[in-house]
Chains A and B, each alone.
Chain A
């Protein structure tokens, strides 16, 4: 349970960090909050020669607001985002999701960018950024590039980050006129999700759905975007009966992860239930907005 030896660098600027990654190439790993990487080091599932610590780069942390656009530094702590009034008001889905991320001591260190870059299929933050259709700003020694959240996460622990690149910032557009909902089932609070669901919904003056998004997490390597469900909701008045009906459109055939702790059959059973709860919560909130 002790990590293999490695060298350690704590750069104080992004440029310095990128230089170090260039110099050490595949031998180097970046540490953000360390709440996933350090266990992997301790279990020797990861054995980097060099660790580049991003914790001393102040420019990577913090949430900036420009109109309806929020720019979230990758090193923003989960606890800071959870406590942020801006997040609660402008990105309520992120607030709801973060309540399910680990425990106070892991959220105090864990970062949004770290969780997104780690790409655990059960993680809440990558799914929420997919639900928000966020944009990821990636820094490398040859400059910056941006990709959609949908192109960022590629599989289990797999992202589009190339060697030498760092996730720098997440750009999210806030929608004050939508309701959001989040539901998750885990063995104990804060444990890895057995399945989770995130919903966003916008209603017109008559109470009919004009736009919906539904994501299901922890059932496949990449969180599932349930566009068939979302499309079926558009134009409907989303009653509980209607939502019960549309969640049947979730494609259970693409579910994976059949393991001794949580069977595939169980995931297929609970995912539509969680989707219904998340959608109902988002509809309730969207209706409150219209009052």
Chain B
């Protein structure tokens, strides 16, 4: 099967990759571009670990073919994290026991980043909706909710 050249923007930088049509976008980012922060869990759209931001929206990286990303602007967990140390969402997840094994964490960080960038002080319901497509088998979600609520509260007190 013919490989396709895909040119796209990843974390603000131009990138290109040669992919088979059957490769998922998440697979190609990991395998071709070495961006292994994105985790592939179920590989059929159930778990949300591979969630990316594509053209401004969170999408399942395993349910988009890499060839479909021609010309797209993709942001991965690497793109929403500082080079050194932890970002505010990551710090809060650590502080509030928002992870144990950490496999779901890249997807959680990506959807929470997307939520907070459009809405710095989301309500509890808005946080639940934002993470509703992400499975976590360790925390029971309360730690993640507590972390996200703490970030929202910090934004509020910073604003006051």
Contact = CB atoms under 8 A, between A and B. Distances in A.
Given A3-B22, A35-B45, A42-B44, A102 B133 contact: yes
A174 B24 CA distance: 39
Interface stretch (A104-112, A151-159, A256-264): A104-112
B20 interface: yes
B58 A1 contact: no
Interface in A211-234: none
Contacts of B153: none
B1 A5 contact: yes
Contacts of B20: 5
B21 interface: yes
B21 A8 contact: yes
A64 interface: no
Contacts of B21: 5-8, 51
Interface in B53-69: 54, 57-60, 62-65, 67-68
Interface in B1-35: 1-2, 4, 20-22, 24, 27
A265 B27 CA distance: 42
Contacts of A103: 48, 132-133
B111 interface: yes
A189 B132 contact: yes
Given A1-B43, A103-B132, A106-B63, A38 B58 contact: no
A5 B2 CA distance: 10
Interface residues of B, number: 32
A53 B44 contact: no
B51 interface: yes
B131 to A, nearest CB: 9
Nearest to B110: A105
A72 B34 CA distance: 40
B150 interface: no
Nearest to B67: A8
A188 B46 CA distance: 12
A207 interface: no
Interface of A: 1-8, 10, 31, 34-35, 38-39, 41-43, 51, 53, 55, 79, 102-106, 108-109, 188-190
7 tightest Cβ-Cβ pairs between the two chains A and B: A103-B133, A8-B21, A108-B57, A1-B43, A39-B44, A3-B22, A5-B1
